Amino acid sequence: MSVTLERLDATFAALADPTRRAILARLARGEASVKELAEPFAMTQPAISKHLKVLERAGLVSRGRDAQRRPCRLEAEPLREATRWLVDYRRFWAESYERLDSLLEELP
């Protein structure tokens, strides 16, 4: 399997979980610590850390080093790659529907 397809698989697998999507939505507003990310959830920090590891493996999140804390930040490139992949399939379906419309118009 190509590296691009493996990255897409990891991205979509990470996005499949509602908690991870909520974490990404929070990080879209700016970086945050694990403690800050855990606050809105009924989960322990270790549970949130497990979700963050999945997001990190997919390249969706990175962790910096800022003195005593390691802020998490959103990395958008995997989302851009997934969007490009989805747009290609959207084009395919749009063209298929256009062909179907043409065929239906030809029917008596």
Q: Tens of pLDDT along the chain (108 residues)?
A: 666 889 999 999 999 999 999 999 999 999 999 999 999 998 888 999 999 999 999 999 999 876 677 899 999 999 999 999 888 877 777 777 777 777 788 887
d(CA 104, CA 7): 39
Options 1.10.10.10, 1.10.357.10, 3.40.190.10, 3.30.420.590; CATH of 1-106: 1.10.10.10
- Considering the entire predicted model, what is its pTM? 0.78
Helix residue spans in the chain (DSSP H): 3-15, 18-27, 34-38, 45-57, 77-106
